[in-house]
Amino acid sequence: MNEIGLVIIAMGVIFDLLGCIGMVRFPDVYNRLQAGTKCVTLGVCLILIGTMFMAQTTPTRIKALLCAIFILLTSPTAAHALARAARVTGIPLWEKSVVDQFEAERVQ
Amino acid sequence: MVDLMFEPLLQPIAIPLVAGLVCLLLPKTWQPARGWLTCAATAVTVMLVWPLFAGGSRTSENGLLRVDQLSGFIMLATAVFALLIAVYSLDYMRDRQGQRLYSGCLLWSLAFAGGALLAADLVLLVVCWGLLAATLYLMIGLSGPDASDAARKTFMIVGGSDTLLLLGTALLWAQHGSTRMDAAAVTLVSATDQLAFFCFAAAAFAKAGVMPLHSWLPDCGEKAHAPVTAFLPASLDKLLGIYLLMRMVTDLFVITDQINTMFMFFGSVTILGATMLALIQRNLKRLLGYCAVGQVGYILLGIGTATALGMAAALFHMLNHAIYKSCLFLGAGVVEEKAGTVDLDRLGGLATRLPLTFASFLIASLAVAGIPPFNGFASKWMIYQAVIDSGQSSGNLFWILSLAAAMMGSAFTLALLVKVLHSVFLCKPTPHIREKNIQKAAWPTALPILLLASLCVIFGIFANGIPLRFLVLPAIGQAVEFPGTWRAGRASGLLLIALVIGWIVYAFTLRNGKLRRVPTFIGGERLDEARIPGVPKGASRHVEVTGVDFYQTVEQLPVLKPLYVLASSKVFDIYDRIGKVTAWLSTLLRAAHRGVLPTYLGWFVLGLLGILYVIMEGTP
Amino acid sequence: MNNLVPLLVAIPLGVGFLIPLAVRWKPQMAELLSNLALFGLVLLSLSLIGNQTIYHMGGWPTPNGIDLRIDDLSTLMLLTINGLALIVGIYSVVAMQPYTSQHRYYSLLMFLVAGTNGVALTGDLFNLYVFMEITAIASYALVAFSGEDESFEASLKYVVLGGLSSSVILIGISLLYAVTGTLNMTHLASRMSEVGETAPVKFALALFFCGFGLKAALVPFHTWLPDAYPAAPAPISALLSGVVSKVIGVYVLARLLFNVFGINDDMLLLMRWMGGITMVAGGLLAVGQWDIKRLFAYSSISQVGLIVLALGFGTTWGVVGALYHLVNHATFKPLLFLCSGQIETAAGTRDLRQMRGLGRRLPITAGTCMVGSLALAGIPPLNGFWSKLIIVVVGIQTDHTAWAVTVVVMSIVALAYQLKVQQRAFYGTADAPMEKQLPVSESPVLISIPMIVLAIGCIALSLLALSGLEHPLLVGPAADVLMRGVWKP
Amino acid sequence: MSSPQETHGMSMIVKTVCVWVKGFILLYGIHIILYGHLTPGGGFAGGVIAAAAFVLVMLAEGEDAALKTYSRKAASTWDSLGVLLFWLMAVLGVVVAGIYFFNFWTTSESARLTLFSGGIIPLCNVGIGLKVCSSLYLVTFVLTAHRWHLDTEGKDDAP
Amino acid sequence: MIYSLCFLLILIGLYGVLTRQNIIKIVISLLVIEYGIHLFLVLQGYRTGGTPPIVDSSIDKQLWLQQSVDPLPQALVLTSIVIGLGVLALMVALSMRIHERYGTFDIGKIKKLKG
Amino acid sequence: MPGTAFAVFSSVLLLCCALCLYRIGRGPTAPDRTVGIDILGTVVVGFCALLSLITAKDYLMNVALVWALVSFIGTLALAKYLERQQGNE
Amino acid sequence: MNRFVLFILLLLFWVLLTWPTEFSTSYFQDLSIGTLVVCLVTWAMGGSSASARHWLQPQRYAWAFVYVFVLAAYVIKANVEVAYRVLHPAMPIRPGIVKIKTHLKSPSARTALCNSITLTPGTLAVDIHDDGTMMVHWIYVKSTDEHEAAEKIIGRFEWFIERIFE
Ligand code: NA
Ligand code: NA
């Protein structure tokens, strides 16, 4: 069990790192959110699942599970809220973006 | 407790205190009752004080109160003055505001003065001293809306001096472990003892109105009700200030020659400065205020001689001064009441309208000026004697200057009182006066004035017989030698004879109208022919010399002019000077408080660093 | 009996929280409940006179639990706090009528009292911090209570400076805890002597000086006070100046220095200089003021300087003088602030330049204010005189004649600014518009009584002096508590 | 008070998620409060979490929805009641045993570490939790509500 | 090392308090100071106390009951946080009122009260 | 073996935190910083879980849960604040 | 959420939270208090009048079970994809916001859909309107046509979600 847990946590940590790198590298808010949300959410969920495997007591396992579910539910919501706020505020897309139908619609 | 009630030393304090409280509590409408109660209480106090005065030294059971010849004498004088003022106020205060407070304060002033005089403990003295300042403040304050500045100034100087008295007491206490007045006299060796001495001196000077702590007196004289001025600044405060000075000189400290010289110096300065300032005043009461300051100088001179004669002279002069200055202030009160003004320019010709007041005023004025046979002459004469005497024996040449100042002061005083007499009573009535229907003064007002005036005469003629013998010399407690005695009685007899002869001449010659009328001359020309710019020849003309105009020339004298200019910009007013410096410091500090939070935060950090430095480094 | 000790904190706290509920039932419950509570507190404090106990909260012994400490000093403080609070509470009944949401005012007042009582009682350093913060937060809110621009500004400045000082104090407490491993003041005192005067201890001491110095408004940490006191409603200014800044500033500092750290010459020197400078600066600043409450506020600064200076003389008698003056200041300064409230209500302004002749219409205010002014200026025989006398004598005895002279000079300055108030506000005649605005009759009884009581207090407290200047009733034993030195377990 | 658009809260997605989770958050907060004597946290932390549930409603569904869930008046009442409960526990100790905060409701040593083992501590925690939750909610409410009528509002009552 | 972090936090906060002109930033700086202190206090707990005074399933309960662990720092920090929150709420409310009345957050412009 | 692994994991997560802080500090726009805060919050949740394993403290799991909650609400608040900023302009 | 359903879920949650290390009779205390508290929370937080009927249809749970795995697969794919783009030196991205439309009606379904696409390859739900139009940020825009994009982005989830939620 411990080994499985470790592996899962390792994967989670790697995804976390990738997400964060993406968040730093990507050119605009929306892309950063993409990287951040997806990778970090998955990463943390993996860590929590790994914790489930490695934890010594049932309550801890349960809490880890609840926590994972909560993250899975709220993280995309938060990302969505942020993206919407950014868009409403008028934060422009990266200049090399191909299309912006949001802006097009608002202009109409 | 019962013993305490029957303690004879406590009674003259307690009676007026309680009576004052009753006065304050009596309903507003009971004014006559209040007035009579005041009179009765002061009269009772006089009666209670008499045995104290006559009975010699004694100390109360608890050791807090003590009476000796000096304090008994001054206490008696105080009580008598209070009685006179109370009688005077019966009429004076009838239609004025604040009677309730007035009566209360009058009685309380008497009580606190009694406390201060009978105190055997310096702390009690300080307490009563401060309370007197407060009652004085209240009494000036109730003299109407204009008096508030004067009240504030008075309280600042007198109350401030009380604080200095506190410091002096504290110094003595801390250094010598006792606040008893009869403790061993302190030799002025250490700096703290000298500081204590100067604190006491400042308090006494302020109370008595010695320059440069005098400036409350003219203001107070000008603004306060006449009886208030007559009672507190003119008599009671003088008595107390001099009392304290005498105590300092005789009991509390061992006086050095330098101190005496200092006394004489301040005395001379006060005489000259105050009378010169008085000379140019146009307000009768203010003028009297300055005049009152000037007279303290003589007393100080007397004390400064450090001889028994000087002391006796000082005490005598103090008493005399209180008498004639009260008389003058009360007279001024009548003038103000009847004429509605104390502006010398608007007064005139009151001699016929207020004959008794005029007579009293005249006597008191002549007494102030030191004209024989009145009491002022007697005491001044003693002071001159003492100055000459001590000066010759000590070899310090300062006495010559002092004597010159005293003489000049006398001359100035005479001049300024002539001015007053002329412009208030003798000169032609001004339109203002002519319009007024001036009634004679009521008896409660007239009685004290006449009494005081007659005291001026009696104490002058029988100087040796009554006041010196019964009042002053016992208070000095040592033998006094009179080097060149002024035989007051004989001289007075001669003067009286001269006066009688003069009257007979007048009666037989002038009254019969056998007068030679001559034209009025001015500058060697006949008045109606003289060329006066702006007045056509032949037009009706008369010359009014109001007295004030005459003394305006004094103001313009080349030496005096700059001094007067400085005086009018209050350069010599220590209250004003210190006030300005304080205000400047305050403005400076206020400017630093910019209202900006980061500045304050900066101060916080600086303060923290400073504290850190002190705590971490420690002190050497 | 001892079980009632924590009620001194518990009652006002409970009532403070009960008030918002009770006013739903009847709006008058706020003033009723708080005044009842304050009355109870006064009785409680009276019952503590002469008591010397350590009360263990929850029954835990000294190092583990929280102690409440009753000795003569804390009793003196409690009497002052609760007595004054009751007076202020009665005054508030009428004075606070014009304000909206009165019940919040009373709640905050209760918290203020609870916090201050707690500070006076506690024997635990962190607990002290907590109570101090309760007091501080309540005072921040009360300063802002009147809802004017200036009151918000004043409160903001107070809150930032006060917050900074609280942080500084907390750092000091943490340091002491790090060094000694305890926060119980008795325990701390004994550990401190084991640890010795190491750098962290000294550092903490400096931080306390700074932090509590701000609470007490010592120069240069005084800047919040002249803004805050005038901005607060008059009864609150009275309470803040009378006890709050004294208890959470001066009292705590004295307690810590004398009973926990152990006093030494450096501390005394610092106290003398800080107190002296504060006294001088406060007095000079007061002279130049035209806003009557601001003038009184600066005068408070000056007086607190005097108290700290007296503590800095370091002898028993000096402490007596300081404590005596502290108690005296808690009578005349609140009196003056209450009077200023009446003046402001009557004249519609606080600017002395615009007032004149209020004395005729407000005889009680004028009379009591006069008593307060003269007491503050140290005019005998009012209480301020006796404490100043003691302080001056002690100053000379301990060879600090220069400071004694300064005290006397500042006394004269105090007389100057008090007479300025007297003259401007009460003397003279009001001009026509002012005359029209003035109330026809003097204020209601509930306003007058507190002022008269305080004025009588100014006179009556001098009776303490009659019981022996060197060891007056209540004050003398309280001073002994400080002078007995570092607490031993 | 405020324009209707501003009380709407956030987008439909956020609202729906809020509806899903708010009950659980509140329950979690209560759990922390009740088990405060056994696990870390207690009244304060639990109160914060419970308040978070209401604050979430306020953010996502808008002010009005939040008020419907937990009215201002209810909040201020519970606020006071919470403290009074805590206070009562303290003073009851005196009544029962003469000592403040005396844990007068303890069970035997062996029965410790269950919900009721804490005696008065859970009750104290409930008091604190109520207080913290309600005041935090009120504070948030006042602060956010204030911002909304920054332009129009004149004087409000004192803070 | 971590002590210097506390120190640093406090200094940063102090610097912010002294140099910032914006009320909000000053408030935040005060918070930073407070956090520095809290960190310091918590560290005291870890330094002096062995096990945290918290019951969880990993500890032998009976043993814990007998142990007398120092729960002080945590309690202190918690209380201190509560107090800090109170002050913070007050500060923020005041800042808003000030902004409403004075139309600015600039502390340099909020100086009606001076002298 | 787990000890070293945990050490590595922790360092990597700390690195993640540092990256988030970089984004928070760098911006350039307010939403960018908010993204950083949001992600940081999520990473910290993972970190707490990891810590609870390392230290064998159950309560850290609670902390993780609470942190997730607070982070979510905080992000929502910030998002709402940003939206309203726009509305006020 | 229907109150009864909420009650059940909350009770479940409570049981999970108070899960003891070993069960004993004292657990009854926790459970009874829990029921009480859950009642309270249900009363406080329960709201909508949606029927409990949905919750009683077992096929929904079955689809949900399947969907979890589908979603998990996509999530992992998405992560790998993002990882690729992050790590690729040239950063091959072609971002843009496209408009698509879903025919899902209920808020829960739409929310689930949005969260799903946010978690899966390259897409992020920015906004959703009442008529079902969604704005989606796409990290590598493959089509700007509304229907084609819709098919590519949500086609794979819509089917499942409809069966689970509607
Ligand atoms: Na004060
Ligand atoms: Na103060």
Per the prediction, chain B carries an average pLDDT of: 79
Q: Specify the higher pLDDT residue, B577 or A43.
A: A43
Q: Which residues contact B34 (CB under 8 A, 6 or more apart)?
A: B23, B26, B99, B100, B103
Give the pLDDT of residue C454: 93
Q: What tokens appear for B22 in the block?
A: 């009753």
How high is the ipTM of this complex?
Answer: 0.80
What number is the average pLDDT over the span B7-20? Answer: 83
pLDDT, chain E, mean: 76
Q: Give the mean model confidence (pLDDT) for residues D4-18.
A: 75
C149 touches chain B (CB under 8 A): no
Task: Give the mutation candidate from F6, F39, F50, F67 for the A interface (greatest A CB count, under 10 A).
Answer: F39
Per-residue model confidence as pLDDT tens digits over B37-65: 888 888 888 888 888 777 778 887 777 88
CA–centroid distance, residue C225 to ligand 2 (Å): 7
Mutation target to probe the E interface, by most E beta carbons within 10 A, among C128, C161, C164, C165 is: C164
C-beta contacts of B479-484 below 8 A and 24+ residues apart: B479/B308, B480/B308, B480/B309, B480/B312, B481/B308, B481/B309, B482/B309, B482/B382, B482/B385, B483/B309, B483/B385, B483/B389, B484/B385
Q: How large is the average pLDDT for residues F2-23?
A: 89
Taking 80 as the threshold, does the pLDDT of residue B486 lie above it? no
Higher pLDDT, G9 or B221: G9
Q: Which amino acid would we find at residue B598? A: P
* Residues B336 and B232 sit within 8 Å (Cβ to Cβ): no
Q: Is the pLDDT of residue G41 over 60?
A: yes
Q: Are B239 and B77 in contact (CB under 8 A)?
A: yes
Q: Looking at per-residue confidence, does B489 or A4 come out higher?
A: A4
Q: Where are the beta strands (DSSP E) in C306-412?
A: none
Kindly list the distances between the CA atom of residue D6 and the CA atoms of A91, B281, C355, D3, D63, in Å, as whole numbers in the listed order.
21, 79, 50, 6, 9
pLDDT tens-digit readout, B379-424? 888 888 888 888 777 777 777 888 888 888 888 888 778 777 877 7
CA C274 to ligand 1 center in whole angstroms: 15
Spatial distance between the Cα atoms of C88 and C108, rounded to a whole number of angstroms: 13
Q: Which of residues 97-156 of B touch C (CB under 8 A)?
A: 123, 126-131, 133-134, 141, 145, 147-149, 151-152, 155-156
Residue D106 in this model has a pLDDT that exceeds 70: no
Average pLDDT over residues C86-105: 89
**Tens digit of pLDDT for each residue in G50-103?**
566 777 778 888 888 888 888 888 888 888 888 888 888 888 888 888 888 888
Which chains does chain B touch, 3 or more C-beta pairs < 8 A? C, E
Q: What is the mean pLDDT of chain C?
A: 88
Q: Provide the pLDDT confidence category of residue E48 given band limits of 50, 70 and 90.
A: very low
Determine what percent of chain B is predicted with pLDDT higher than 90: 2
Supply the pTM of this predicted model: 0.83
**Interface size between E and F, measured as CB pairs under 8 A:** 9
Residue F57, chain E, CB below 8 Å: the answer is yes
Average pLDDT over residues B351-365: 80
Residue A12 has a pLDDT of 92
At residue C2, the pLDDT reads: 67
DSSP B438: P
Measure C246 CA to ligand 1 centroid, in angstroms. 7
| Contacts of B587 by beta carbon, 8 Å cutoff, 6+ apart | C288
What is the pLDDT, as a whole number, of residue D152? 34
- Quick one: closest CA in F to E51, which residue? F57
B119-123, C372-376, C462-466, E69-73, range with greatest mean pLDDT: C372-376
Distance from the alpha carbon of residue C70 to the mean position of ligand 2, in angstroms: 24
Question: pLDDT: is C150 or B521 the higher one?
Answer: C150
Which of C87-101, D100-114, F39-53 is least confident?
A: D100-114
| Percentages of chain A per state (helix, strand, coil), in multiples of 5 | 80, 0, 15
The CA distances from residue B138 to B104, B148, C419, in Å, are: 10, 10, 12
| Higher-scoring residue by pLDDT: E51, C463 | C463
Stretch C466-487: mean pLDDT: 83
pLDDT score recorded for residue C155 = 93
Report how far apart, in Å, the C-alpha atoms of B533 and of each of B473, B537, B541, B545 are.
61, 10, 12, 17
In the predicted model, is pLDDT for residue B355 greater than 90?
no
Which residue has 């005729």 as its token pair? C360
Neighboring chain C residues of B169 at a CB cutoff of 8 Å: 389
Q: What's the rounded Cα separation, in Å, for the pair C373 and C423? A: 11
- B234-287 pLDDT, tens digit per residue, is 778 888 888 888 888 888 888 888 888 888 888 888 888 888 888 777 888 888
Of E107, E112, E115, the CB nearest to B598: E107
How many Å apart are CA E90 and CA E83, to the nearest integer?
A: 11
Q: Do the Cβ atoms of F17 and A24 come closer than 8 Å? A: no
Confidence tier at D100 by pLDDT (50, 70, 90): low
C207–B608 C-beta distance less than 8 A: yes
- Which chain C residue lies closest to B596 (C-alpha atoms)? C157
CA angle G33, G35, G40 (to 5 degrees): 95
Residue with tokens 């610097």: E15
In percent, the amount of chain D with pLDDT more than 90 equals 11
Residues C211/B611, Cβ–Cβ less than 8 Å: no
Residue C477 reports pLDDT greater than 90: no
pLDDT of amino acid G64: 86
Chain center to CA of B276:
16
Confidence at residue B162, expressed as pLDDT on a 0 to 100 scale = 85
Greater pLDDT, C116 or B343: C116
How many beta carbons lie within 10 A of that of residue G68, not counting itself?
11
Where does the pLDDT of residue D97 fall: very low under 50, low under 70, confident under 90, or very high at 90 and above?
low
Ligand 2 mean position, distance from CA C301 (Å):
6
Q: Which of A91-100, B90-99, E22-31, G76-85 has the highest mean pLDDT?
A: E22-31
Q: What is residue G61's predicted lDDT score, i.e. its pLDDT?
A: 86
pLDDT higher than threshold 60 for residue C338? yes
> Do F and B touch, counting CB pairs below 8 Å (3 needed)?
no
pLDDT number for residue E38: 87
Residue B521, pLDDT > 70, answer: no
Searching chain E, which residue's CA lies closest to the CA of residue A57? Answer: E57
- Contact E58/A59, CB-based, under 8 Å? no
**How high is the pLDDT of residue F12?**
92
CB atoms within 10 A of CB C482: 23
Q: How far is Cα B80 from Cα B75, in angstroms, rounded to an integer?
A: 9
pLDDT at C404 over 80: yes
Residue position matching structure tokens 């100067």: B198
Distance CA A90, CA A81 (A): 14
* pLDDT of res. B547: 52
**Closest chain G residue to A63, measured at CA:** G17
Most confident of B57-66, B470-479, C73-82: C73-82
- How close F59 comes to chain E (CA, Å)? 7
Confidence of residue G161 (pLDDT cuts 50, 70, 90): confident
Q: What is the pLDDT at residue B516?
A: 57
Structure tokens at B74: 């001054």
CB of E58 closer than 8 Å to CB of F58: yes
Q: In chain A, which among 22-81 make CB contacts under 8 A with chain G? A: 22, 25-28, 30-31, 33-35, 37-39, 41-42, 57-59, 62-63, 66, 72-73, 76-77, 79-80
Q: What is the C-alpha separation between B491 and B471, in angstroms, rounded? A: 22
Dist CA B452 CA B466 (whole Å): 15
G146 touches chain D (CB under 8 A): no
Give me ligand 1 centre to Cα C99, in Å.
24
Per-residue pLDDT band for C52 (boundaries 50, 70, 90) equals confident
Is the confidence at residue B310, as pLDDT, over 60? yes
* Cis preceding-peptide flag for C381 (omega within 30 of 0): yes
pLDDT 10s digits, C213-232: 999 999 899 999 999 999 99
Indicate the pLDDT class of residue D99, thresholds 50, 70 and 90.
Answer: low
Q: Looking at residue G26, what is its pLDDT?
A: 75
Touching status, chains E and D (3+ beta-carbon pairs under 8 Å): yes
Assign D151 a pLDDT band (cuts: 50, 70, 90).
very low
More confident of the two residues B183 and C407: C407
pLDDT of residue C85: 94
Asked whether the predicted pLDDT for residue E57 surpasses 80, the reply is no
**pLDDT at position C482, please?**
86
Segment B447-472 mean pLDDT: 76
Q: Following CA atoms C344, C349, C355, C360 in sequence, which dihedral angle do they give, to the nearest 10 degrees?
A: -30
Closest to D33 measured CA to CA, from D102, D105, D110, D133: D133
Query: CB count, 10 Å around CB of C295?
Result: 26
- In this prediction, residue G63 carries a pLDDT of 86
B131-147, pLDDT tens digit by residue?
A: 888 888 888 888 777 78
Tokens of B126: 């300080």
Ligand 1 centroid to residue C241 C-alpha, Å: 3
The bound ligand whose nearest atom lies closest to the alpha carbon of C333 is 1
CA–centroid distance, residue B615 to ligand 2 (Å):
25
pLDDT over 90 at C336, yes or no: yes
Between B305 and C281, name the one with better pLDDT: C281
Candidates G78, G96, G125; nearest CB to A99: G96
Average confidence (pLDDT) over E12-28? 90
Q: Chain E contacts of D39, Cβ < 8 Å?
A: 54-56
Of D44, C211, D148, nearest to E85 by C-alpha is D44
C12 pLDDT band, cuts 50/70/90, is very high
Would you say residue C489 has pLDDT above 60? yes
